[in-house]
Amino acid sequence: MERKLKNIYTCYPGGKHKALTMSYDDGREEDRRLVAIFNKYGIKGTFNLNYGIQGTCGPNGKVPGIPMTEYKELYKGHEVACHTYTHPTIERCPLEQVVSQVMEDRKGLEKAVGYPVRGMAYPNGSYSEDIMKLLPSLGIKYSR
């Protein structure tokens, strides 16, 4: 008689098999309303922020953003992740500048929120194979 092996499934916490991720960039003023909605309904989000241009965002920094002094309280219970220090199109940058952009952003964000920052969203969706290989050495565990 042939015996079939059972499949082993890796699950999320609580035995859940699927996850929905909510990820937002740039620390825009609209995050205040979004975080309030998330908190009301028990939804968790990741907010990818630029420590070097906090308080403003958008083209030429003309769009109001969340000031760094509010990061810890506003994003409490959610994840804060890197988005580089000043939001350059990093695929066009020398790797030394990518290192600086990621590390300065991480250091500033960790100081602001009080915990290790381990995720990152690529600014403008820009990345390269070399950047992907570099990020783990900078303490980045995942990127999108």
Q: Residue 61 has what pLDDT? A: 62
Q: Which one, of 103, 51, 101, lies nearest residue 75 by Cα?
A: 51
Q: Where are the alpha helices (DSSP H) in the chain?
A: 31-41, 71-74, 95-113, 129-134
Distances (CA, A) of 3 to 7, 8, 9: 13, 16, 19
Residue 94: predicted pLDDT: 97
Encoded tokens for 61: 């920094």
Instruction: Please give the structure tokens belonging to residue 60.
Output: 């030429």
Selection from 128, 122, 75, 82 nearest residue 102 by Cα: 82
Per-residue pLDDT of the chain (144 residues; tens, 9 = 90+): 677 777 777 777 788 888 888 999 999 999 999 999 999 999 999 999 999 987 776 555 677 889 999 999 999 999 999 999 999 999 999 999 999 999 999 999 999 999 999 999 999 999 999 999 999 999 999 999
Q: What is the DSSP letter of 29?
A: T
Instruction: Supply the DSSP symbol for 6.
Output: P
Residues 6+ apart with CB under 8 A from 69: 112
Query: Are the C-beta atoms of 44 and 22 separated by less than 8 Å?
Result: yes
